[in-house]
Chain A
Amino acid sequence: MSDLLQRGSDWLASQLKTHASRACLYQRESQQVTVRAIIGRKDFEVESAEGKLYFRANDFLIHRVDLVLTGQPTLPERGDRILVDFGTGTETFEVLPGDGAQPWEYSDPFETLLRIHTKKVS
């Protein structure tokens, strides 16, 4: 008998993808794939000796199995870009570390969803 919690987590992930996601273009250099992502947003202000830097940090939740570049399953890498249109033109987000050192992490214990940290660059 499979893990009931895993079945629930998989169901929830599929529901999010179906009902709460948006199409995005995931790019690594010349490779790209269209994926559906659940998007979270937070605005930051960082103060340092050199002044203040403002940026929008979006987390993209993407099904791990959807991230396939040139036919090969892959994991996010620092510097990858995600293009998304929120209705006011295409915005570009770059995969970069968030509060921690890693630019991405699994969002659930069963490694179904990738939580990809990004910052808006254009």
Chain B
Amino acid sequence: MPAVIIQIADAVVTDLNGQNFSRPFTAMRTYLPRYKLEDLANVQVSVVPKDDVGQRASRAQWQQDYKLDVAVQQKLGSEEQTQMDELLLLGQELADYFKDRNPTGNQAVLIECGYAPLFDPEHLEKHKTLTTVLNLTFRGWRP
């Protein structure tokens, strides 16, 4: 059985791909998103397991925070601002979607969800690409 954080990441991917959002995409789990600029003509969504940090909760249990990144990326066309608005709306939809449900079943609960920073200004300036990363923190318990 895979590590818990991988199970959570897979559950997030399955959940995202089973839902319709304002922009179509197929999410995938990866350890390191790798794209060619020309591959970003369509929205790419990558779910990346990031941190798995434990704090002792009792003699027998550890409270584990599992952090995942959900990266949304697309190369922008001539309607740069309009496309950015649409992609940031998609980002908000993804965040709000997870606030209302728990894709992991009883494995963990979402305790933190947000974009900070909202987008990568260097990607925007140098590559005319919007990269926005949703940080999700799920909390669970392990012996």
- Which residues of A are interface residues toward B (Cβ below 8 A)? 29, 46, 48-56, 78-79, 94, 96-97, 101, 119-122
Contact = CB atoms under 8 A, between A and B. Distances in A.
Contact of A79 (B35, B122, B128, B129): B128
Contact of B37 (A50, A51, A55, A79): A55
B133 A50 contact: yes
Given A46-B127, A52-B32, A52-B34, 12 more contacts: A46-B126, A48-B120, A50-B69, A53-B34, A53-B35, A53-B37, A54-B35, A96-B126, A101-B125, A119-B37, A121-B38, A121-B41
B125 A51 contact: no
A55 B32 contact: no
Nearest to B46: A51
23 contacts: A29-B78, A46-B127, A48-B120, A48-B122, A48-B123, A48-B131, A49-B133, A50-B33, A50-B69, A50-B120, A51-B30, A51-B35, A51-B46, A53-B37, A53-B129, A54-B35, A55-B37, A79-B78, A79-B128, A96-B128, A97-B125, A97-B126, A122-B41
Interface in B38-62: 38, 41, 46, 48
Given A48-B120, A94-B128, A122 B46 contact: no
B117 to A, nearest CB: 10
A96 B77 CA distance: 12
B36 interface: yes
Most buried by A among B38, B123, B126, B128: B126
B71 interface: yes
